Structure 1
């Protein structure tokens, strides 16, 4: 599954400034703090990102999101989502080397698309700032720290960048996890990344990774996990509390439960494809009282259900949601989750209502 960049592309990347980087001391554990620019510090790193990011899992995908079809129309829609996000003040984009099928006809790797969008935007406005987060796939045949650096350089070539802002381990490996963490540290010291994180890590793995990087003076900036109003496992398994304790930002993927919390789907109109096997008519029937209350609260703020549930996550503090945007309309709607806040009473009420719903089945390893 791994792709290998040509030596010419790697040489070009090296010429762009992949030099050694000074490692900064780890700050004391703190929750994510809003900066004067309206951004938040990602964990104990120096990286500042917008309070909400955009997930690019669907860009180029032909297996889960796009019904085995990727065409020019969908590419233009993704490009519009990218531009609208930036125009709305959202500049964090999360992708991965395994997003987008490389087998199906017409499919494009998500990193390649994001890199193309960034290049086209910078040609119009060289001063535009984009924060790129991507991920290393812990595939069974990838062994040791050098495999992380090799995969990262391949990702940089697809993105057309000399470095990325955040590099994450997509999921724990079957073996070699210590080597992977060493590889993250090497990436920081070689100036290939500004910050490093993990994804789908349990409390124990999270603590181990944090301590291993700490020995090198490198902060573990983030843990990206499945987290939404109806999938609150990070609150129950110690991951959220550990992130707060150690000053690691929790990045929430599937924050609107892959559309189930938007109010778009009903028992009579469930989602199609793989999502239909998770969000069944029976589950959507249980979900309706919560959806109705979300709509009522949204009306008080003149906000959509999507904006309410994203704001609920932001209100948890130390959480950066990354909903996936397929088009400009979705990106614009996500931006409406910023600049206001649910009351503590509303936050608690929604959690209480959601707890009465049978927990949705999550993805132990998302987006593999």
Structure 2
């Protein structure tokens, strides 16, 4: 007997394999609603039903394609998503964390990561993973969804930040202070 936890946040006890549940917004469902019931996403002209607003996984295009998504619709959805992120501040628990003050404090660390990456010919992701490995009390477990992501993550291996670079990033990070009311801390 196995306990399987699906992405729907409930556990199932069974003797057989449990299929992973995915939420997919269907354009056909959105077409059933009148235009007045739809909401505009961010600063774009794309209007969707409230049910169509949620977390979008950019890597799961197989589900989009099976729902009739084509390149034009995909670009329109991505543009709407980007516009909503750019023009709308975070809401809910994230609004307490990602304030403009916090993001301003974060900028020197991001600049340091980018500068070190340029010196080594590495991406910011590779620098951060290497920095985590250099902590010696952290085991980063990056979740790659594509071969390209796995390849990028592997670029964090085979080299090491200098002690001075580790100390510099640690110093920049310490100036940010603790993340205020992290939702994870409230679980």
Cα distance in 1 for residues equivalent to 2:176 and 2:114:
17
- Distance in 2 between the 1:354 and 1:317 partners? 17
Q: Which among 6, 9, 14 is matched to residue 5 of structure 1?
A: 14
2:139 to 320, 323, 331: 320
Work out whether 1:67 is the aligned partner of 2:54.
yes
Superposed CA deviations along residues 6-59 of structure 1, whole A, max 9, x for unmatched, are 3xx39xxxxxxxxxxxxxxxxxxxxxxxxxxxxxxxxxxxxxxxxxxxxxxxx9
Mapped pair 1:336 → 2:143: no
Residue 293 of structure 1 aligns with which residue? 112
Q: Could you state the TM-score of these two structures normalised by the residue count of structure 2?
A: 0.52
Unaligned runs of 5+ residues in structure 2 are: 1-9, 24-52, 64-84
CA offsets per residue over residues 91-127 of structure 1, 9 Å max, x none?
Answer: xxxxxxxxxxxxxxxxxxxxxxxxxxxxxxxxxxxxx
8 Å contact kept, 1:268–1:281: no
Across the aligned residues of Structure 1 and Structure 2, the Cα RMSD in angstroms comes to: 3.7
| Secondary structure of 1:321's aligned partner | coil
CA shift, 1:345, in A, is 0.8
Map of 1:199-348 to 2, 5 A cutoff?
Answer: 275=94, 277-348=96-167
> How many Å apart are 1:267 and its aligned residue?
9.0
* Cα gap change, 1:311 to 1:68, in 2 (>3 Å): closer
2:107 and 2:160 mapped to 1: Cα distance? 23
The structure-2 alpha-carbon separation of the partners of 1:364 and 1:61, relative to structure 1 and needing over 3 Å to count, comes to farther
Give the Å deviation of 1:67: 2.2
Higher RCO, 1 or 2 (CA under 8 Å, sep at least 6)?
A: 1
Residue 359 of structure 1, CA deviation? 1.6
Which contiguous aligned blocks of 4+ residues in structure 1 show a shift greater than 6 angstroms? 266-273
Q: Number of matched residues?
A: 124
Q: CA separation in 2, counterparts of 1:358 and 1:285?
A: 12
Give per-residue Cα distances to partners, 1:233-290, cap 9 Å, x unaligned. Answer: xxxxxxxxxxxxxxxxxxxxxxxxxxxxxxxxx9988768864552232211111111
Inter-CA distance 276–338: structure 2 relative to 1 (3 Å threshold): farther
From the superposition, tell whether residues 291 and 68 of structure 1 become closer, same or farther in structure 2 (CA, over 3 Å): closer
Would the aligned equivalents of 1:267 and 1:285 in 2 still touch at CA under 8 Å? no
The aligned counterpart of 1:30 is none
Which blocks of at least 5 consecutive residues in structure 1 are unaligned? 11-58, 78-265
As a proportion of its length, which structure holds more strand? 1
Paired residue secondary structure (1:307): helix
